[in-house]
Chains A and B, each alone.
Chain A
Amino acid sequence: MSDSIIVRLRRANPVPEVATAPGTELFARITALPGDSRLVASERRPQGHRRAIVLAFAVLAAVVLASTAYAVSHWLGGDVVKPPVTKREYSAAQKQLTLPPGYSWPTFRFPPDAENSVTPRGAGGGHAVMAAQWSWECYWVAAIRTHDDAAAARAHAALNALLAHNTYEAPAGAPEDWTPSPLPTQPFMVYAHDGGLEWIRAGYRLAAAGDATRIAQSCRANVPG
């Protein structure tokens, strides 16, 4: 295609040269991450995903639609609740967790036909923990990039508190729906025993040293709202 308009546009191209690729370091960093589970056999197991969150998100996302909630609740082991309970858990968790300035809690939406859905008890709180975590990560990225040391320290402290008080790692070999026993009274989420939690901690250590790369990726991928 080479009419005069295209030619004029091409001449006006503000970045006519393709930037030089940084090369092997970035390639190595990216390929060190878990790849496409559809391609890599070693990651076909659900626990292979970096951010495999056993209870809070994966299970929540896989809300079980059932017209026969009674039967499904037995299939899942009995400790499951209907959407109103999960929403109440989410609301209650908001009173126990804090978000950074300028952030608000994302609306918790169930599919419109999910009246008979069931989710494991605690999933609403886990959803809130994740929303708080991702919000603070985004806040931290902004703080690092604007050289706001006080905001960065605040974000770091908030995320450390979430990891210390609201985050569990399932034991090695535990089933996907593992939950702490007894069930915590505070909102919580559970990570699989697959290195994902350590990866997050390492990202926070990097951020504390001023390298926002990892938390920026998480922020981009998960930014609330």
Chain B
Amino acid sequence: MTDASDRRAAEERFQPVFSHLGAVAAYARRRGSRDADAVAAEVMTIAWRRLSDVPRDDPRPWLYATARNVVQADARRSARAAAHGAGEPGDLAPPPEIPELDPALADALRSLSRLEREALLLVAWEDLTPTQAARSLGINATASRVRLLRARRRLRARLDEASNGSHDETTHLDLETT
């Protein structure tokens, strides 16, 4: 096979992966990324460079896992920048456009462990199956189902507790919150 045909084959293989660009940008936005389009572009660049690692049959769990890492790396940089003061080098993104959530729901989500919350949101917002969510999180399917079950129970309990309270302000989901 020639170099040109190798490249064409790689591009053909990349095309269905790239078709999830919008979904990856939406994922980043849902997780509070300040620059979701840039995150999505970065994820696709990584996918192109590591195309042989991207599952052909179902790239979304891999893409979301990569997006999670990129969003978290951004968040860490922003935190470092905040520690150094405004305008320092880690302040790589424009002002946040973090999605607003019902405060009770946001509080309840924060009460979950990061892994439980992410498993739940992959199913609810990214429309993955529990097995796909497990792949994205690097855990086995059984563990994923257990975490989902626990997460749903805990979330429901937390929402029940909060059902009598009231909140005046909207809030947002912070990916870095445990």
Whether B23 contacts A1 by the Cβ 8 Å rule is no
Give the complex CA separation of A36 and B13 in angstroms.
11
Name the residue on B nearest A48 (C-beta): B3
The one of A1, A5, A31, A41 that contacts B14, using a Cβ cutoff of 8 Å: A31
From residue 14 to 55 of chain A, which have CB atoms closer than 8 A to chain B?
Answer: 14-15, 17-22, 26-27, 30-31, 33-36, 38-42
Whether B89 contacts A41 by the Cβ 8 Å rule is no
Name the residue on B nearest A50 (C-beta): B49
Whether B121 contacts A9 by the Cβ 8 Å rule is yes
Interface residues of B, count at CB 8 A: 65
Residues of A within 8 A of B37 (CB): 19, 22
Give the complex CA separation of A220 and B28 in angstroms.
15
Q: Mark A62-101, 1 if CB is under 8 A from B, else 0.
A: 0000000000000000000000000000000000000011
Residues of A within 8 A of B41 (CB): 26, 30, 213, 217
Q: Give the interface centre of B30, B53, B84, B91 by most chain A CB atoms within 10 Å.
A: B91
Give the complex CA separation of A31 and B12 in angstroms.
10
Give the complex CA separation of A225 and B48 in angstroms.
25
Interface residues of A, count at CB 8 A: 50
Q: Does A59 have its Cβ within 8 Å of any Cβ on chain B?
A: no
Whether B89 contacts A34 by the Cβ 8 Å rule is no
Give the complex CA separation of A4 and B52 in angstroms.
39
Whether B6 contacts A42 by the Cβ 8 Å rule is yes
Give the complex CA separation of A219 and B74 in angstroms.
10
Q: Does B61 have its Cβ within 8 Å of any Cβ on chain A?
A: no
Q: Does B143 have its Cβ within 8 Å of any Cβ on chain A?
A: no
Whether A5 contacts B152 by the Cβ 8 Å rule is yes
From residue 85 to 109 of chain B, which have CB atoms closer than 8 A to chain A?
Answer: 85, 87-94, 99-102, 105
Whether A5 contacts B26 by the Cβ 8 Å rule is no
